Amino acid sequence: MSVLRIASRYASSLFSLAEEEGNLDKVHDNIMYIWEVAKTDDFAAFLKNPIISAHKKEKVFEAVFTDKVESVVLKTLRVIAEHRREPYLGDICRVFHTMYNSSRKISSARLITAAAVSESVVDGILETFKTKGLLEAQVELDTAIDPSIIGGFVLEFNNQVYDASIAYKLDQMETQFSENLYIKNF
């Protein structure tokens, strides 16, 4: 079974339970906390270790998260451990976060620039995409700096990439120039 299918099943189940109980926002906060913990090197290695039994992993989940998360989240962690799906905990958290953002009409985007840019430039870029209906009114933005794009920006959102970088434009020009229009192709 694919990772996405596994993660989607557990995330959608937890999402439905949280909606039924009316504490979706709290559960989302819990999931974000668990996701941060799951990203740490030691905890990630613990989750992926096949030698540690499911029972011991359940005990660790209880010790680490009992007073910090809702009971429905703790029960879900137990089920994940029982079914030996704990290596996918980070993926489950990511899918849950995506579902939450979708339900709250929040777009997730990543803006990559060649150098640091001002807040007004970022707002202008986002506003352009919002007016075209490509982004929701609320945007959860992650920014990164990558000098290899030379200039311009790359915006990743909704499984799409808008590449307005100089490096991309130069690559396009190189491709066009490599096609010699004056020599007949045989």
pLDDT at site 86: 94
11-62 pLDDT tens trace: 999 999 999 999 999 999 999 999 999 999 999 999 999 999 999 999 999 9
* Mean local confidence (pLDDT), 97-102: 95
Of 67-71, 77-81, 153-157, 182-186, the range with the lowest mean pLDDT is: 182-186
Indicate whether 185 pLDDT > 90: no
pLDDT at site 184: 64
pLDDT at site 94: 95
pTM above 0.75, yes or no: yes
Indicate whether 123 pLDDT > 90: yes
Indicate whether 111 pLDDT > 70: yes
Give start-end residues of each CATH 1.10.520.20 domain in the chain: 3-102
**What value does the mean pLDDT of the chain take?**
93
The CATH code belonging to domain 3-102 is: 1.10.520.20
- Greatest CA separation found in the chain? 74
Indicate whether 181 pLDDT > 80: no
Give 10: exposed, middle or buried? Use CB within 10 Å, 0-12, 13-18, 19+: buried
Tell me how far apart the alpha carbons of residues 51 and 18 are, in angstroms, rounded to a whole number: 32
Residue showing tokens 């100089």: 166
Confidence class for position 177, pLDDT limits 50, 70, 90:
confident
Cβ contact 60:1 at 8 Å: no
